[in-house]
A and B are shown apart, each in its own frame.
Chain A
């Protein structure tokens, strides 16, 4: 069973917009409210919209269980890898070795009232990206497995 044409068209149009908004929340996690978990949950909402609008065979053409589980593993390994990489620099676990270094996410925070500089905060945005990818995969695959119970009933 699939939903009506109105719901399917709305899901097609809204899915990229929700994706972009969730990635915005993840990327600005160290400046604005939100972060990895909230952005990943917003992206998973877009995935849930597509899953509800179509039936199982059409959805698995878009969203694959292997890819989503791989995203979950990638996010977790990336998060702990960023933390463990500090040990290679001779510092403590989760030490922020990128802040003030001048490389990616490494410029110092400007003083005074400003709009917020995206290229700051060191390893915090990298961890936000890792958590965002992990929550994206995890919460979407929960709903996809919920739908896969309906596969043999043909709806």
Chain B
């Protein structure tokens, strides 16, 4: 048995490194060792996990791990951690990560806090988590009362640490790979539709106030003037299919310096996606629309006349 251990895992390398920085903090508070669990067909540059905070890298390499299958991965995770005195297991909250975490938690007969936006440990060494509930309108502060404590962490919640010259151990584990019953027949690449939304300093966004897809050009002109990325609310993407991805609790959570919502009503789900924007501007013809309640500046007016006027006014001022 090892000493107290915190383990971080994500099949998404970047997210894995982000979790390590928070995992380091938690491990130091618990007086625990931080392990990065890395699974795959061929592991490249495991040292990177150490320079980003891990004390040890646990590696399982196998051709069967080339693509993620939850049944196989759950078995590997459980087997890889069976000799570890596991205090905390942090898993990246991708869709795959979430189903893996829930299944591993069930196997270990313990709780799991999904998509924590903040985590900490209390004086008894219990894991504390903050997560969104009620469609994203409320923050639920929770405590995991028994170990192993499990939490999943969404992408971009924590910043990865600056790499530092640290020493650490790299262990290659020999693990039984179980067969999986769900067979993948085909994997169709998706067009990456986020259009850089997550990192964009300015985002302008379309909602149901737009009557026709062609009208989005009004917004594109505003975006061009501002050097902004164009996003939308959920119905525009999920129901109308005018764009690939949307902004909101179930889509992209963004934190631009400036967010301009056009023809968006401002449901709690959408509001949760833009909460971290520095300045929110809204244009909506409904006086009572919730978006005005969560904006810094708003115009109650018709997007079809206000947007072109705003584009023009901004152009004049930016000359």
A binds B: no
- A residues contacting B by CB (< 8 A) are none
